[in-house]
Every structure is written in structure tokens, then in C-alpha cells.
Structure 1
């Protein structure tokens, strides 16, 4: 899959570097959720604490979607885009970031940002419910 390198309203507002950052946050969140679930399940803690999976699962899913789809929710809400990439000297390019000037494009970005957030929340809730229900059914 090619990584987009230019702003497209409601579709793409970040480049390769920002995608990597979001992918790392997603991975850490999902691994953390797995570790938390394992800890709760093998300990004497109440199974009800598995409902705490909602936050890291929702965060991990949403940020994973942002990484996959080259779209940052926060930048969309700010009416901005960022395609800066690291330079070989350790800095990053000054070009490739800015403000979205068109109100229609900003509106489209906000709509897509809301969609990604709602998908993350719904998927986080569904997975949390499945893990909790599975633990209850198995008597863990």
C-alpha cells in the first residue's frame, strides 16, 4: 500500500512519520490491554475489573485506524494537516504542515474524525463486552 503524501479532505491528513507514531500508540495500547486482561484473569481480582479494558481497547483501535487510514482525528478537529518527515540529520522537514483553508474541507475532516472515533468506541465496547462475557461464562 502506498502512503499518501498530500492532504485530501476527509481522507488523508498525515504522512508516514505520523502514521508510525499512531501505530506505535495503538500497539502499546492493545498490548497493555492484553496484559491487563491476563492479570485480572489470573489474579483474585473481581472479573468486573475487565470492564477497564474499554479505554485501552478503544484507544488502540482508534489510533490503529488513524495509522492505517493516514488520518489524525486531533489534527482534523484543529483544521490542520501534517506531512513532515524526519531528515537524515535528525530534524524534520519544515514543509508539509499547515492549516486547512477551506471550510467545506474542514467540515469533511471533522465528519471523518467523528466516524473514526465512533468506530473505535464501538469496537472497544464490543471487545470489552466479549472478553467480560467470556470470563463470566467460563467462571473466571
Structure 2
């Protein structure tokens, strides 16, 4: 996959450094979720606490998608882009025109909903598996 280095409405609003940051957040969130699940499963805590996986799994998925797609949800909702690491002019700015901001916001909502749905699905699968296994 090529690394985009210029703003494109509804497709790309961050550069390589911001992608790495989001990838790291995704990795830490996923690792935290796995550690949390393992702790709950080997301890005497109630299995229902596995439902707490929803937040870190949703974050891991959404931030992983942001890293992969070169797209920051927060910047999109702010109407901004960030290519500091690839541009000589600072690479940050406001998105113009309003139609481009609207495309960005729609895509941001799309990524967020995917993260929520996938986090809920994975949490349900882990919880249901633990219940069926009698943990």
C-alpha cells in the first residue's frame, strides 16, 4: 500500500507520522484487551466482566482502520488535516470547501461505526465462548 502524502476529501487526511501513532494506539489497545481477557478468564472474577472488552477492542479496531486508511476521525470532525511530516509548509490546515468537510465527516462516522460494530461482535464472541466453555 502506498503512503498518501496529500489531503484527499473523504479518503486521506493524515501523513505517515500520524498513521504510526494510530497504529501504536491500536496495538496497545488490542494488547490491553487480550491481557484483560486473560486476567478475567484465569481469575475468580465473574465472566460478565469480559463485556469490558468492548471499549479497548472498539478503539483498537477504529484506530487500526485510521492507521491503515490514512484517516483521522477527530481531524475530520474538526474540519482539519495533518501532513506535518511530509509537507514543507507545516502541512496542517482547514479543509475547504464545505463539501470536502462533509465527505470527511461521513467517512469518519463510517470508520467509527465499523469500530463499534466490530468491537461489539468480538466482545460477544469472547463472552459467549467463555460462557459456553463454563469459565
- What is the CA-CA distance between 1:2 and the residue it aligns to? 1.1
| 1:96-140 deviation line (CA, Å, top 9, x unaligned) | 110002100000000000000000000000000000000000001
Which of 92, 113, 135 in structure 1 is aligned with 2:130? 135
TM (norm. structure 1) is 0.94
SS in 2 for 1:8: coil
Which of 81, 90, 95 in structure 1 is aligned with 2:90? 95
Distance 1:49 1:95 in 2: 45
Distance 2:88 2:84 in 1: 5
Give the aligned CA root-mean-square deviation in angstroms.
1.3
User: Runs of 4 or more off by more than 6 Å in structure 1?
Assistant: none
Q: Are 2:53 and 1:58 aligned?
A: no
Distance 2:42 2:90 in 1: 50
Distance 1:29 1:121 in 2: 14
- What runs of 5+ residues in structure 2 fail to find an aligned partner? none
Match of 2:23 in 1: 23
| 1:14-67 deviation line (CA, Å, top 9, x unaligned) | 000000000000000000000000000000000000000000000000000000
- What runs of 5+ residues in structure 1 fail to find an aligned partner? 87-91
